[in-house]
Amino acid sequence: MASSIDTIPGPPHDGQAADAADPARGLTAAEVAERVAAGEVNALPPRSGRTTGQIVHDNVFTRINAMLGVLLVFVLATGSWINAAFGLLIIANSAIGIVQELRAKRTLDSLAVVGEAHPRVRRDGAEAQIERDDVVLDDIVLIGPGEQIVVDGVVTESAYLEVDESLLTGESDPIPKKPGDEIMSGSFVASGTGGYRATKVGEDAYAAQLTAEAAKFSLVHSELQAGIDWILKAITWVLVPVGVLTIIGQIRVGADGWREIILSVSGALVPMIPEGLVLITSTAFALGVIRLGRRKCLVNELPAIEGLARVDVVCADKTGTLTENAMAFGSLEALGGHGEEEAREALRQLGAADDAPNSSMAAIVDGVGRAERPWTVTARQPFTSAKKWSGMSFAEGGDWVLGAPDVLASSGSSRAAAAAGGRAQEIASTGLRVLLLGRAGAEVTAEGAPGEVDPVALVVLEQKIRPDAAGTLEYFRNQGVEVKVISGDNADSVGAVTRSLGMDSGAPVDARRIPDADFDGVVNESHVFGRVTPQQKRAMVSALQGAGHTVAMTGDGVNDVLALKDADLGVAMGSGTAATRSVAKIVLLDDKFATLPHVVGEGRRVLGNIERVANLFLTKTIYSSILAILVLLFAVPFPFQPIHVTITGWFTIGIPAFILSLPPNNERARDGFVGRVMRFGFPAGAVVAVASFATFMAVRDPHPTAQQAAQASTAALVALIISATWVLATVARPYEWWKIALIGLPLVGYGVIFTTGVTQRVFKLDSGNLEAMAVGTAAGLIGAAAIEALWWILQRATGERRPYWLPKAEREAAAAQRRLEREALRAERAAQRSAGR
């Protein structure tokens, strides 16, 4: 996103503008049709970033497939079709990746349509809400507080219109806009109302660039993906010299012909390629998008899933997050010598004069009704989070203000003002929301407004606490995620709400009274904040990040935009403003705060499980590389043919790794993915390689017959399988019944393969030498014991203790999670069937 307005060209005054329709009428249906036919429509790039063709291309033409493809061609040239079985990995990797990404793309596209802005336009003199893509050149687009500017244009009407261009320029102060001023897509309305004529649409508008970046299925800027890419690049560099040296080594030991050399080289190189790691990574991310989509959660940026797992602080707004966004009118308490009817009439007039009422004013209008004979408005001051009040000046009724009592009462020096402030504080401490209605001492737009305020009445609004808020806060507390409630409301009111939710958060802090010198310390030590301005919200996010925290910020209003943008993970409510939805990485389309635990859990599932299976693949790469080097150093034939390492890779690594990537995982992500994987993968791979190679050297005949060579290979393979299976056994911890089955069933399958005559012939094995098989079994068991010891040593060295068995509470939580996922899947399928009918 641009950091300076100079980098974004402004919309020219289109030549058609002079002939365009009157702004008060807008375009006619015929004029709209003409522009659509001429292509002057707001056609934007695909919502999910990549087309179907690009997804297919990117899953077929990968570094992994290229490596395997070259080796496959050479093996097929030998005529040994069974040894070319690893070629099925190319098809499997591509097919599974394509299917999952297309499913994720469909999920993103369908959710993006719900979550995107729906602009209002004036056509044929009437207001209509249309799709973002249906805006045409010269359309008159109407805008109000919190709405995003969807195309570039020129302002045609303005009622105290102020636009926030901070997302484009970095400048946080709202900019007043009057007719004739340029207005840029990507900015949003901070206050006031107005309209503008569209002068740039489609790819010409800056909004096209924003759309191209939103909801993109991409793994960029991901520490996990960067780590995997580093591993793949390192393997690519190792493959070439190892391949060349293996060829030289096989020639030295007198390999019988080019076919034997190719099979030996392929047997050495194929297992070095972590063919399933990239597949499982992309599949896990795609499934994360799909699972979250079932919960009406739109992931605007896929790397956000990784960010979810790293979050250790959640900054939650009160209104719209802990409480429902809508409020209800509670009561009216007249002050001083003023009567209740005087206050009600003033509120009716304020409601009638407000073209874009916020949730508070909407509740007041529902409670007191609208004025039958509206007064004439002479000046208007829209509400902003910075001022905390709004006002109207009327020709008949004078100057009125409505806003935060502790702000407006401080504008008055009378006893009445002090009494009003004290009474408002008393009510707010019970968790109710209180506004002060008063007569201003000056016109509401005058310098120094509102002047001396005469309190007329306290307006009490009831806010309903979300039924799922308490459970959500409890989840975060149990998972070690700190929650900070940051609100623009009265601090005592916010504190009362959090206490009612069981949040032991200490005394609430009034953000206006935090000393600048102590700001960072107070933010990190306290948990509940009231009267926070938009700039303070942004500064709070920065202070938490400066202390080393990974911060998630939730919000739904204009005042949350800057903080959402700066947070590591911005989460917007679906009913919030278009501006908040556009900058958030995740949008909760159904406004359910209770979805956040599932969002965090999904991130942890993806990262924790991928790290777990990465240990398997790196171990395989290491033991294959070490075997190739040992074969070269000792000048012996390579022990295995490609079919041997294929069956080992599939049943000890590939299939178990895929299954292990799916279950819930509550481990919070940590930095240092590559380092942790290598700390286990390198020594574990070395143990497997030594166990296998030692067996091969112990049982081989220096001048073997074909049968003796097969028997030595079979014994070495037994040692490899037993020790590699124990790598799987340690990585799979903590155990559940299905993990035990995952470890045991392949061993049963291997037993069948190694003892049945048909399978031995097919897989080129010979277990007839019982002495050699005993040596292989013993070496494998010793290797398993060494890997077990390695697991314990690393546990002690790092201070991380992973239990053998999953605790009962976690088993029950995992079972509940699986039930919820099955129910969500059934609901999704039912909705699809209903839509099909």
Q: How far apart are CA 545 and CA 264, in angstroms?
A: 53
Question: Closest Cα partner for 151 from 11, 28, 13?
Answer: 11
Residue 103, Cβ density class (10 Å: 0-12 exposed, 13-18 middle, ≥19 buried): middle
List alpha helices for 572-705, DSSP H.
578-583, 595-634, 642-648, 655-660, 673-699
Residues 6+ apart with CB under 8 A from 214: 47, 112, 300, 301, 582
CA atoms within 13 A on the CB side of 145: 19
| 366 is an active site residue | no
**3-state helix/strand/coil string of 336-396:** CCCCHHHHHHHHHHHHHHCCCCCHHHHHHHHHHCCCCCCCCEEEEECCCCCCCEEEEEECC
Bridge partners (DSSP) of residue 510 are 530
Q: Could you please report the per-residue DSSP string of 264-312?
A: HHHHHHGGGS-HHHHHHHHHHHHHHHHHHHHTTEEESBTTHHHHHHH--
Q: What angle do CA 589, 593, 598 make, to 5 degrees?
A: 85
Q: How far apart are CA 584 and CA 569, in angstroms?
A: 7
Question: Closest Cα partner for 359 from 411, 400, 318?
Answer: 318
- The helix (H) or strand (E) run that includes residue 32 is helix 29-37
Structure tokens, 735: 């155990």
Structure tokens, 686: 């070395």
Question: Closest Cα partner for 466 from 363, 594, 295, 570?
Answer: 594
For residue 145, cis peptide bond before it (omega within 30 degrees of 0): no
- Which one is catalytic: 164, 312, 317, 556? 317
| Sign of the torsion angle spanned by Cα atoms 392, 397, 399, 405 | negative
The 3-state DSSP class for residue 409 equals: helix
For residue 637, cis peptide bond before it (omega within 30 degrees of 0): no
Q: How far is CA 26 from CA 40, 125, 211, in A?
A: 16, 6, 26
Active site residues: 317
